[in-house]
Amino acid sequence: METVVVGISGGVDSSVAAYLLKKQGFNVIGLFMRNWDASINNDTLGNPTLNNDICPQEQDYNDALKVCQKLDIPLKRVDFIKEYWDYVFTYFLDELKKGRTPNPDIMCNKYIKFDMFAKEAKKLGADYIATGHFARMQDGKLLRGIDDNKDQTYFLSQTSKKQLENVLFPIGDYKKEEVRKIASELGLITANKKDSTGICFIGERNFSKFLENYIPNQPGDIVNIDNNQVIGKHIGLMHYTIGQRRGLDIGGYSNRMFVVGKNIASNILYVALGEDNPYLYSDYCILEDMNWISDKRPHNCTAKFRYRQKDNEVKIEILDDNMVKVIYKNPVKAVTPGQACVLYDNEECLGGGIIKEVYKNNEKCWYL
């Protein structure tokens, strides 16, 4: 009997993934990852303060334990707190300091779930590892999950072809409602559990207050780029991303003004009036840290510049092993430095890179 080690998160997706694998005849072992020390919160000065309430991560572990008991599979636990800090959270902070908008979930998959986790699974005798991602593997190709609304190949775009060998995605052929139905019929405690949101493994928090523990706020001017007038104050550039509307302290404008750029040197946040303002759109971008999962290098394909975005028709020019130019067929809104651009050939995820620079009319956007 082949052994598969499943990443059990305490959520419904990984719970059903474990059930489906056991049903298929695998020897299933659950492995719960603790990647953030949620029992300690830092105050605004960076000093540790204990939180005596049960933290969400411990609740997730308790739920995972109950699921595994119900399914009659063992559950192991492993700590990757240092590794998460070194490879994911430090990257996250460094990108914010540069004025970019990073995606820590993508780096967590690259460095933790499909690297550290896989190594730990091998110690447990794993022939395969599995997760509750909505994705599919077929003939060595990474394919979108059947559920378009939940497809998570975007977050897998920095994993290597080697990392995806011997990986199973049991729920990739299911719709989300089908997954919840299976969990409900099994009587799993996670059946109706809310999907996790927030930063990967850190969870839901007051984001602004949380970041103050690590990066001091530096308030500055909000400038209307259409007339170069100062119209308000921002609390710190790290708290804003391109295309953002909410959270702007602009009297009388908050429902109609959108973030269009940042000037790090001058600590200025640029905004513009209207959701279709030309300053929100660009023509092409340059990707760095390009990671190819597929052997294909098509000149024409589609791209997503953020999760759940509709596919955009693009042409790609390979600049070198690390960098790719992505030219849009039609102007695209709010393409943001630091975010991932993920390329597709129909159902296949080709890979992705991190957006380095964004251009319109051959001029760099966002004033970074």
pLDDT over 80 (residue 55): no
- pLDDT tens-digit profile of 114-131? 999 999 999 999 999 999
Give the confidence band of 47 by pLDDT, cuts at 50, 70, 90.
very low
The two most distant CA atoms of the chain are separated, in Å, by 69
Q: What is the mean pLDDT of residues 285-303?
A: 97
pLDDT value at residue 255? 67
pLDDT in tens, 18-29: 999 999 999 999
Query: Taking 70 as the threshold, does the pLDDT of residue 244 lie above it?
Result: yes
Q: Where are the domains of the chain?
A: 3-186, 217-273, 278-364
pLDDT category at 246 given cuts 50, 70, 90 is confident
33: burial class by Cβ within 10 Å (0-12, 13-18, 19+)? buried
For the cut 80, the answer to whether the pLDDT of residue 252 exceeds it is no
Q: Work out the average pLDDT over 55-72.
A: 91
How many Å apart are CA 165 and CA 172, to the nearest integer? 16
Confidence of residue 208 (pLDDT cuts 50, 70, 90): confident
Q: Per mean pLDDT, which range of 51-65, 94-108, 258-272, 301-315 is the poorest?
A: 51-65
For the cut 70, the answer to whether the pLDDT of residue 254 exceeds it is: no
Predicted local confidence at residue 366, as pLDDT? 82
Cα(233)–Cα(249) distance, rounded to whole angstroms? 6
Mean pLDDT of the chain: 91
Residue 224 has pLDDT above 90, yes or no: yes
* Model confidence band, residue 51 (pLDDT cutoffs 50, 70, 90): very low
Look at residue 56 in the predicted model and tell me its pLDDT.
73
* Mean pLDDT for the stretch of residues 312-336: 97
Q: Are 84 and 108 in contact (CB under 8 A)?
A: yes
pLDDT value for 52: 44
| Residue from 55, 68, 108, 301 carrying the catalytic annotation | 108
Q: Check residues 255 and 356 and name the one with the higher pLDDT.
A: 356
| ∠ CA 20-21-23, rounded to 5° | 65
In SS3 terms, the chain reads as CCEEEEECCCCHHHHHHHHHHHHCCCEEEEEEEECCCCCEEECCCCCEEECCCCCHHHHHHHHHHHHHHHHCCCEEEEECHHHHHHHHHHHHHHHHHCCCCCCHHHHHHHHHHHHHHHHHHHHCCCCEEECCCCEEEECCEEEECCCCCCCCHHHHCCCCCCCCCCEECCCCCCCHHHHHHHHHHHCCCCCCCCCCCCECCCECCCHHHHHHCCCCCCCEEEEECCCCEEEEEECCHHHCCCCCCCCCCCCCCCCCEEEEEEECCCCEEEEEECCCCHHHEEEEEEEEEEEECCCCCCCEEEEECCCCCCCEEEEEEECCCCCEEEEEEEEEECCCCCCEEEEEECCEEEEEEEEEEEEECCEECCCC
- What is the model's pLDDT at position 48? 42
Is 90 exceeded by the pLDDT of residue 198?
no
Predicted local distance difference test score (pLDDT) of residue 130: 98
pLDDT, residue 204, reads: 53
Instruction: State whether CATH 2.40.160.50 applies to domain 278-364.
Output: no
Q: Is pLDDT above 60 for 53?
A: no
Q: Quick check: is 200 catalytic?
A: yes
The per-residue pLDDT for 211 is 85
Examine the pLDDT at 221 and tell me if it is beyond 50: yes
CB contact at 8 A, 292 and 350: yes
What pLDDT does 249 receive?
75
* For the chain, percent of residues with pLDDT exceeding 90: 82
Q: Which residues contact 299 (CB under 8 A, 6 or more apart)?
A: 315, 316
Residue 45: predicted pLDDT: 37
Q: What is the pLDDT of residue 36?
A: 83
Q: What is the pLDDT of residue 38?
A: 66
Q: Is 108 a catalytic residue?
A: yes
- Give domain 217-273's CATH superfamily: Adenine nucleotide alpha hydrolases-like domains (2.30.30.280)
- Among 68, 200, 349, 365, the active-site one is 200
CATH domain 3-186 topology:
Rossmann fold (3.40.50)
Sign of CA dihedral 14, 16, 18, 20: negative
